[in-house]
Homo-oligomer: A and B are copies of this chain.
Amino acid sequence: MKIIGNMGKTKKSPQNINFEEKNNFEYLLNKIVRDVKISEGRKSLEDILRCIYRNQPISTKKIGQEVKLPLPIVSNVRTILERNGILKRSEKGALYTNYGLNIVEKNLKFRIKKDLKCPTCKGRGIILDDKFSKILEKVKKYSKMRPVVDTSIDQSYATPETATYRAAFMADRGDLEGKRVLFIGDDDLTSIPTGLSNLCDEIVVMDIDDRLLSLINEISNKENLNIKTVKHDFRREIPKEYFNKFDVVFTDPPYTLDGLKLFLSRCVEGLGIGGEGTIYLAFSHKPIDVYLSVQRIINSMNFVIYEHIPGFNYYEGSEIIGNTTFLSRLVGKNIKYPNEGIDLLKLYTGEVKPTLRYYKCLKCGSVYEIDGKNRRIENLICKCGSKRFKMIKRKKNKRAE
């Protein structure tokens, strides 16, 4: 029997509390929600507890992916639960103690020991056939050639599997065969498996990053994919000659509401204002109030959420956002720009939520503060010469607000 921790910090604890009693356990849960500031509240905390129950032992990273919460939140919750004797730590990740197991089975009525996610398709609902499995092998090879991410414009690379599943998904839904497909940004190189499918009439990739465009060109030439690349800053309209020229657009915009509206506006231009078309949108899972704004923006453009799969996309290195995003297939008619205006100064997450991150050198242990604007992790070299770091902490950058 242990006591309630305080944000994971060691504090002396005056009383022993028995969490087998429902009221005490509820008190603990509510305190954790308050202290750790879990925006979705009690429900998300239960998701963490349930996820560990069904998958133990499980790493913090994997919990974050499953419950779609940022890692620091999951990590704080885990620490408090450990301090209170409910969880313990093993090499393979978080585990319930016998005491903890008894508490959640009694008070939260947990009983399902293994989730029902389809083992064949991992919940995505589609599989890669022989053709797409071969495409995946090529994509794996090419994705190693990607340049270092530029976090100031929210770059973050989807895994080769994700890019290939996206292409297979679009192919399955009939959105590639004979279609003209536009990518509004493509740091994930989703255009490569799309091109390798050899199904589209035309593929155009627009992006602001020269490094990515030249890599796409290089692969396209080598594989004879006929992908056209256009350097473009989405703060401006896409070039007039590309208005109303496409059937399908794929985009994975910055995960801010203004970034979303901006990128979706460019999608609408490509499909043709007043016309119809399909958008594939990858975007991060948000707290409900923001999520509602996301869906209202989509509907305001006369697009229906025709299909919506949480956790479809996995990313490399971006553990901080829980590492997965949803994929939405949006079908529109009489399409138009979003109703609301766009704030061009709030496009990227670094602009909306200025954050300080602390990175520790994996070689010598030195710690560096990174604000993401003046100093970026991808350019950091330790005084010892190493370039390998691990993020150990992040906090709001009050100076920047």
Contact = CB atoms under 8 A, between A and B. Distances in A.
B124 A125 contact: yes
A203 to B, nearest CB: 13
16 contacts: A46-B174, A109-B199, A110-B178, A111-B177, A116-B126, A116-B127, A117-B125, A117-B172, A118-B118, A118-B126, A119-B120, A121-B125, A123-B125, A124-B125, A288-B332, A288-B333
A291 B50 CA distance: 34
A332 to B, nearest CB: 7
B304 A288 contact: yes
A212 interface: no
A276 interface: yes
A307 B306 contact: no
Interface residues of A, number: 56
A295 B292 contact: no
A401 interface: no
Interface in A93-111: 107-111
A160 to B, nearest CB: 17
Contacts of A50: 174, 177
Contacts of A292: 299, 302, 304
For A129, A132, A201, A333, the residue with the greatest tally of chain B CB atoms inside 10 Å of its CB is A333
A268 to B, nearest CB: 15
A119 B127 CA distance: 8
A295 B299 CA distance: 8
